[in-house]
Amino acid sequence: MSNLKKDKRPLEIPKPTFERLKKYLALLLQEESEYISSEGIAEKLNITPEQVRKDFTYINIKGKPKVGYHIPPLINELSELFGIGVMDNIIIVGAGNLGSALAKYAGFKKIGVRVVAIFDNDPVKIGKFVGELSVLPFSEENLKRVIKRFKVKIGVICVTEESAQEVANILVRNGIKALWNFAPVTLKVPPGIVLENQDITTGVLTIKHLLEKK
């Protein structure tokens, strides 16, 4: 993509559009055909084709009449938006079921993420294998070494809500720039640190709401 084109991209994408763009990308990565129409995307995601077309104006992608969008450049544009071309090494703290599920998650590679270490302080878990990774003791020494060696910026918090803030503090103190938090608790982080809370139960609230309305 040329710089000229880059400059024409609106600087701020509205949050709802941004969230939908993620969904489009997930969908496109699953597609096997070469073209897809806005109707095709819309139907699968339960939104309107107009919405799809409007969202794609933010990434300078235009469809061709009767053919639709050419999928490879669309994936490229979205990948660039989400920084997927850059592979980010991440570390996971907490080798319980959720941490283990993430450590073994096959889809990370497609979105430019690689899990390089998983930590726990439970002696029963330390040394056991989760996928291809052996669980490391959660010590500042180990953390420092891994963060430095793999240039890790992103730390994933998969511990209990009681331990999450302490883990966050330790990660930030040792150089982590972004926290991806799965613990159901609101964390405090210093200015400049990116914090993204991932509540894995939000979907069921939508379901309950929709079932109630029926």
Binding residues: 94-99
Any contact of residue 194 with its own copies (CB under 8 A)?
Answer: yes
Question: Could you give the count of Cα atoms lying within 13 Å of 103 in the half-sphere of its Cβ?
Answer: 26
**Sign of the CA dihedral with 140 first, then 83, 201, and 132 last:** negative
Task: Please say which residue, 127 or 184, places its beta carbon nearer to its own copies.
Answer: 184
- What's the closest the beta carbon of residue 185 comes to its own copies, in angstroms? 6
Instruction: Please enumerate, by residue number, every residue annotated as part of a binding site for NAD(+).
Output: 94-99
Any contact of residue 75 with its own copies (CB under 8 A)?
Answer: no
Span 173-192, contacts to its own copies by CB under 8 A: 177-178, 180, 184-186
Task: Please say which residue, 134 or 186, places its beta carbon nearer to its own copies.
Answer: 186
Task: Please say which residue, 34 or 196, places its beta carbon nearer to its own copies.
Answer: 196
Say how many Å lie between the first and final Cα of the chain, rounded. Answer: 47
Span 9-38, contacts to its own copies by CB under 8 A: 15-16, 18-19, 22-23, 25-27, 30
Please tell me the distance from the alpha carbon of residue 133 to that of residue 125, in angstroms, as a whole number: 12
DSSP state at residue 166: H
Q: Is 173 in contact with 193 (CB distance < 8 Å)?
A: no
Q: Which of 71, 98, 116, 146 binds its own copies (CB under 8 A)?
A: 98
- Among candidates 92, 113, 90, which has minimal Cα distance to 101? 92
